């Protein structure tokens, strides 16, 4: 589902990055079963998804400072990437128990 590639960090060290197609990730998450599968199947039943009326996938990113954000020494920043579907009720997304953890690269 993904592909690993080496990346050079600002300090010159190399690390491996995993590139994943968001739609492949979405299909794999639905295939696993559980609360996310129930959410997606419910949205498909309620709103429908077709070529004429597709779901809208939203991708966005944000810089995150792990640890104490009020501290005066920021030693690490990472980028977090998020994916959502516009047609899913935001209240349902807030209660969904789906969390994928990825290794972050220091900026």
What pLDDT score does 58 carry?
84
Q: Cα(33)–Cα(63) distance, rounded to whole angstroms?
A: 31
Is the whole-model pTM more than 0.85?
A: no
How far is Cα of residue 19 from the mean position of the Cα atoms in its chain?
12
Q: Which residues contact 58 (CB under 8 A, 6 or more apart)?
A: 82, 83, 84, 85, 86
| Contacts by residues 89-94 (CB-CB < 8 Å, ≥ 24 positions apart) | 92/39
Is-contact 30 83, C-beta < 8 A? no
What pLDDT score does 39 carry?
86
* Bridge partners of residue 3, in order along the sequence: 19
What pLDDT score does 107 carry?
46
- pLDDT of the chain along its 107 residues, tens only? 778 999 898 899 998 888 888 788 888 888 988 888 888 898 899 999 999 999 998 888 888 877 776 776 777 777 877 778 888 887 777 765 555 555 544 44
């Amino acid at each position: 589902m993904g592909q690993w590639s080496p990346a050079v960090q600002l300090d010159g060290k190399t690390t491996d990055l995993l590139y994943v197609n968001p739609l492949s990730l979405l299909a794999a998450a639905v295939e696993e079963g559980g609360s996310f599968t129930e959410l997606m199947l419910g949205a498909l039943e309620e709103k429908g998804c077709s070529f004429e009326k597709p779901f809208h996938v939203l991708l966005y990113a944000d810089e995150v400072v792990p640890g104490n954000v009020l501290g005066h020494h920021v030693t690490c920043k990472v980028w977090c990437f998020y994916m959502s579907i516009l047609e899913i009720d935001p209240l349902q997304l807030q209660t969904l128990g789906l969390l994928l953890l990825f290794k972050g690269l220091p900026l």
